[in-house]
C-alpha cells in the first residue's frame, strides 16, 4: 500500500503548487493595475 501514500503525497504537492501560483497571481494584480494604459 506504499503506492497509495505516494500518489496521495504527489496530489497534495501538486495542489499546493497550484494554490500557491493562484495566490501569487491574485496578490500581484493590484500592483500592476495602475501601470496599464487604458484604451478607450
Question: Would you state the pLDDT for residue 15?
Answer: 98
Q: Tell me how far apart the alpha carbons of residues 12 and 34 are, in angstroms, rounded to a whole number.
A: 36
**pLDDT value at position 40?**
65
CA angle 10, 29, 18 (to 5 degrees): 5
Whole-model pTM: value is 0.58
Which residue reads 494584480 in cell numbers? 29
Q: Could you list the mean pLDDT of each consecutive 10-residue stretch along the chain, which spans 40 residues? A: 94 98 86 62
Amino acid at each position: 500500500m506504499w503506492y497509495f501514500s505516494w500518489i496521495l503525497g504527489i496530489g497534495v504537492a501538486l495542489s499546493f503548487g497550484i494554490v500557491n501560483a493562484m495566490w501569487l497571481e491574485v496578490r500581484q494584480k493590484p500592483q500592476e493595475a495602475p501601470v496599464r494604459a487604458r484604451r478607450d
